[in-house]
Every structure is written in structure tokens, then in C-alpha cells.
Amino acid sequence: MRLPTDLLWQFTKRDVQTRYRGSVLGLGWALLGPLLMLGVFTLVFHGMFQLRWPVAAAGVAQVDFALQVFTGLLLFQFFAEVANRAPHLVTGQSNLVTKVVFPLHVLSVSSVLSAGFQTAVGAGLLMVFTAVLVGPSVSWLALPLAVLPLALSLLALSWFLAALGVYLRDVAQMMAMLTTLMMFLSPVFYPLSTVPERWQPVYLLNPLTRALVEVRAILFQGQWPAWEPLAVFTALAAAACVAAWAWFAWLRRGFADVL
């Protein structure tokens, strides 16, 4: 598998620009959107309801509920955008299949990168507020590594769904429902510690759950990730990418006939 970097950059830039095209603020919404969302969360969870995030261990500082939920939604939106776009990636650009020889696998990589851009902007804003309210930590350097298994898993999912979506158009509707279900089956609005202990290992098989747990521990508790599990899940996600790319390449041979 070869990734033409120039083409990948052009498609990623186009995806980002298309999101804000026609708006007055343009790319300014990439920063203003997360800022408004964080402001609303702070007003609702902290100002109106005085909600507190359950703390699993004694001596762990209580962190503003809004920051915890914002972290959860930030990573969930990363997942949701990639998952919901994936079934349409090839069918929505059928001219690239039927008219030219084009490396279609680039579309999924571009989708993950453009969604990652929005996530990175929100993460930067989150880090600023966390630094003010909690204090910075050198462990923040590990944040990209903590998110890497999720990003690789999403790339694998995108390749799998993009190919399947060409032949089975119902995939898009199924993913819309599954994405909503995933929001409640992952600790987006609650900590993993509230899940019954016997089910926690099952929850941690979900790359989104693992990323949420690791990122919150790094950001709000100053902890380093558990390196051995992180390495194992990164390797598994990379293997899933290889398998998904092989699936995509195999099914790609029939795209032109279907489209």
C-alpha cells in the first residue's frame, strides 16, 4: 500500500475547507465551535446542576464535570464522523472509480485526518482550560500515543465500511444507529468506574473506551499510559488496518461494475 502524500494533503485540505465553506467565519468555526460547546457544558453541568464527576480513587483531584464530558464528546465525535462518512466515501465520488485510475484507499485516510484536525483543535482548547484549572503535566506528551490505537482502528473501520457500502447501501443507515448506541456504550458521559467491575474488561475492548480512559488519566491525573497494553492495542489496530486494506483492495475490483 502506497500513500501519495501530495494527493492525500489535497483531499484532506479539501475536506476541512468544505466543512466551513460559505460561512462568514470560515475556519474560525474550527475553534469557535468547540469553545461554544465547552461554554455550554460549563453553564449547564457546573453552573445550573452543580454536577460532580465521580472520583475512583482517594486523593485524585476532582475535575470540572464539563471538562470530563467535553473530553468524552471530543473523542466520540472523532469516531462518529469517520464512522458515519465511511459508507459514502466511494459511492459519493463514483467518478473517481469509473473515469480515472485513482488510489481510492486515500479517501479513508483523508477522512480520518480531516476528522482528526477538528479533534486536535478541540484538544488544544481543552488543554488550555485544563492547564488553568488543573495544571499542566509532562505526561501530556503521551496524548498522541494514547489516541493512536483509536485512529488506526477508525482507519480500519473506514476502509471496511467504504468497501462494504458500495455493495450494501443499508450500511449507512445501520451505522447511524450503531453510532448513537456507541455513545451510550462508551464512557462518554460517565467514568468507567461506574460500570460493574465484571463488565469493565469487555468495555476496554472498545478502542473508543480505552482512548477515553487513557486520555482522561493523562489530562486530569497527570498519569502516563500503561505502556504494555498501549503497545498491544496499537499493534492490534495496525493489524486490523492491514486486514481492512486487503478487504478494500479485494472488493475494489468490482466497484466499477456496481457504480
Structural domain range at position 38: 5-254
pLDDT in tens, 59-71: 344 557 778 888 9
pLDDT in tens, 199-235: 999 999 999 999 999 999 999 889 999 999 999 999 9
Give residue 242's pLDDT.
96
Here the cell at position 122 is 478541540
Which string of b and e fits 61-91 if b means at least 16 CB within 10 Å? eebbbbbbbbbbbbbbbbbbbbbebbbbbbb
Task: Name the strand (E) or helix (H) holding 217.
Answer: helix 207-221
What is the C-alpha to C-alpha distance for residues 127 and 120, in angstroms, rounded to an integer? 10
- Residue 188 and residue 206 in contact, taking contact as beta carbons nearer than 8 Å: no
Tell whether 32 is covered by a domain.
yes
Instruction: List the end-to-end C-alpha distance of the chain, in Å, as a whole number.
Output: 24
Q: Using alpha carbons, list the distances in angstroms from residue 150 to 53, 64, 173.
A: 24, 25, 23
In the chain, the number of structural domains is: 1
The residue behind cell 474560525 is 28
Tell whether 62 is covered by a domain.
yes
Helix/strand/coil percentages in the chain, nearest 5: 75, 0, 25
What averages of pLDDT result for each successive group of 10 residues across the chain (259 residues)? Answer: 78 82 67 75 63 51 72 93 94 78 89 93 90 89 96 98 93 91 89 90 94 94 92 97 95 84
Tell whether 225 is covered by a domain.
yes
Tell whether 259 is covered by a domain.
no
- Residue 159 and residue 111 in contact, taking contact as beta carbons nearer than 8 Å: no
The residue behind cell 475490483 is 253
What is the C-alpha to C-alpha distance for residues 188 and 195, in angstroms, rounded to an integer? 12
Phi and psi torsions of 52, nearest 5°? -125, 145
Give residue 57's pLDDT.
43
Give residue 174's pLDDT.
92
Give residue 59's pLDDT.
39
